[in-house]
Amino acid sequence: MTPHGLKRKVLISGASIAGPALVYWLHRSGYEVTVVEKSGALRGGGYPIDIRGTALEVVRRMGILPQLRDAHVGSRRLTFLDADGGEVASLAPAAVAGGAEGQDLEVRRGDLAEILYALVRDDVEFLFGDSVDTLDQSGHGVDVAFRSGRRRTFDLVVGADGMHSHTRGAVFGPEEQFHHYLGYCFAIFTMPNTLGLSREVVLWNTPGKAGALYAVGGNDELHAFLTFHQPELPAGVVRDPGAQRDLVAATFAGAGWEIPRMVGALRDADDLFFDTVGQIRMPHWSSGRVALVGDAAHAPSFLTGQGSSLALAGGYMLAGALAEHRDHTAAFAAYERGTREFVTMNQALVGHGSATLFPTTAQALEQRNTALRGLEALPTATPRPAHTALTLPAFPSP
Ligand SMILES: Cc1cc2nc3c(=O)[nH]c(=O)nc-3n(C[C@H](O)[C@H](O)[C@H](O)COP(=O)(O)OP(=O)(O)OC[C@H]3O[C@@H](n4cnc5c(N)ncnc54)[C@H](O)[C@@H]3O)c2cc1C
């Protein structure tokens, strides 16, 4: 409540993973929440993502663990191929990702977003197809002008608007200051499952290049993924889909296996998602009455497989801090104190050009393949400490 007995009003920008997770906990502790999402409807799609360690406890406390278990993809195997498509090794996916088999969840990103949204959609206001234009916190709250022309004042604003957060840009300045390029570009799209793959991933590697086909169920669609090492950030292609397609086609020209068909499918795909691989690292996640959560604050990159887990845990920690501390400055400081080490450990799982799944030199690829052949003989892997490094405090009672 405000000093006048009114509920405190929070605007959250972004309705993907971090946003709705934060909504759930803030609503529980009595905040009046509005969510603004740029897209006209909830965005589906994306590769299957992992929920591990601490984040599993978050979704358990939210009561959605059974639904997520039902949505669990449960890939049976990850098969590595060489340049000509010959098999290098075939493993349980957890053996490679350092996950806890039987506990960790792998769900389609769209399914996770849908389950989170269904949990909160009737409790708070969602404004789809709109976004924040300007934020002014010179008064006693944050005066927000929306692109649609709406104007409102909130006590607090939280940016949950992803890696290329507009909220971060408006309050903290240009992305370049915080973006750490990790030396890869990637393209994700869907294509027909003409190979008859089922609940499995097939990964083709040559030095600095990789192509993966991911069959989520026994259905007729494959999630296709192409990634390649690019030492310097190709800044010119980031907002130009034509240039992205040309860059991918030129990079993979002459490659073997199914790559020519994948490049052809990418040319026709209407759901192409292209980006450079990088992390967001910021000295602070809040300024005045505005805070950031999830990828907007600390994107770890898909190479860590921890983006959604950090977003879920971050939403819980931020809402917990706001439930405990009446003063937002103290709350934002507590959120950061409690979460930063966890984030740092997870971001440290990868460095520039160092992803285990995508070696950039012939020597590194050979070493990786030798290690994989050795892993085939091992029953399970040990979960990574970074996945469970945060012990969640009990959520403060309202
Ligand atoms: C369509 C889509 C597909 C994805 N596919 C993958 C994938 O295949 N593999 C993977 O590892 N990660 C993927 N991600 C990213 C993954 O969801 C995040 O890394 C992780 O879950 C953290 O989530 P987040 O909520 O912090 O950010 P995000 O999931 O990036 O969500 C940000 C949300 O903010 C919205 N938004 C952006 N700008 C504005 C604005 N100005 N105003 C209002 N809303 C805005 C976006 O539409 C989106 O809904 C994808 C994200 C999206 C949106």
pLDDT in tens, 144-197: 999 999 999 999 999 999 999 999 999 999 999 999 999 999 999 999 999 999
- Predicted confidence band at 34 (pLDDT cuts at 50, 70, 90)? very high
Domain ranges in the chain? 9-72+107-178+279-352
Element (H, E) at 22: helix 18-28
Check if 166 has its Cβ closer than 6 Å to any atom of ligand 1.
yes
Check if 58 has its Cβ closer than 6 Å to any atom of ligand 1.
no
Burial class from Cβ neighbours inside 10 Å (0-12, 13-18, 19+) for residue 265 reads: middle
At residue 101, the pLDDT reads 64
Question: Rounded mean pLDDT of the chain?
Answer: 92
Which residue has the CA at smallest separation from atom 15 of ligand 1?
307
- Predicted confidence band at 1 (pLDDT cuts at 50, 70, 90)? low
- Sequence-distant (6+) residues with CB within 8 A of 322 are 26, 29, 31, 156, 328, 331, 335
Residue 380 predicted with pLDDT over 60: no
Residue 93 predicted with pLDDT over 80: no
At residue 376, the pLDDT reads 66
Residue 104 Cα distances to 114, 243, 369, angstroms:
19, 37, 25
Index of the ligand 1 atom closest to the CA of residue 293 = 26
Check if 47 has its Cβ closer than 6 Å to any atom of ligand 1.
yes
* Alpha carbons 176 and 126: distance in angstroms, whole number: 30
Distance of CA 194 to the CA centre of its chain: 28
CA dihedral 63, 67, 70, 71 (to 10 degrees): -120
Q: For the residues 223-243, what does the mean pLDDT come to?
A: 89
Beta bridge partners of 159: 13, 292
The tens digit of pLDDT for each residue in 329-363 reads: 999 999 999 999 999 999 999 877 767 789 999 99
Burial class from Cβ neighbours inside 10 Å (0-12, 13-18, 19+) for residue 91 reads: middle
Residue 229 predicted with pLDDT over 80: yes
* Alpha carbons 19 and 318: distance in angstroms, whole number: 11
Residue with tokens 């529980």: 28
Check if 131 has its Cβ closer than 6 Å to any atom of ligand 1.
yes
Q: For the residues 35-47, what does the mean pLDDT come to?
A: 91
Which residue has the CA at smallest separation from atom 12 of ligand 1?
302
Which residue has the CA at smallest separation from atom 13 of ligand 1?
46
Check if 14 has its Cβ closer than 6 Å to any atom of ligand 1.
yes
Q: For the residues 391-396, what does the mean pLDDT come to?
A: 92
At residue 25, the pLDDT reads 98
Q: For the residues 125-133, what does the mean pLDDT come to?
A: 98
Index of the ligand 1 atom closest to the CA of residue 165 = 38
Probe residue for ligand 1, chosen from 11, 16, 43, 108 as the CB with the greatest number of ligand atoms within 8 Å: 16
- Beta strand 179-192 with 200-206 is unpaired
Check if 224 has its Cβ closer than 6 Å to any atom of ligand 1.
no
Check if 160 has its Cβ closer than 6 Å to any atom of ligand 1.
yes
- Predicted confidence band at 119 (pLDDT cuts at 50, 70, 90)? very high
Check if 188 has its Cβ closer than 6 Å to any atom of ligand 1.
yes
Index of the ligand 1 atom closest to the CA of residue 132 = 42
Probe residue for ligand 1, chosen from 13, 39, 161, 316 as the CB with the greatest number of ligand atoms within 8 Å: 161
**What superfamily does domain 9-72+107-178+279-352 belong to in CATH?**
FAD/NAD(P)-binding domain (3.50.50.60)
At residue 99, the pLDDT reads 63
- pTM exceeds 0.85: yes
Structure-model confidence comparison of residues 308 and 74, the more confident one: 308
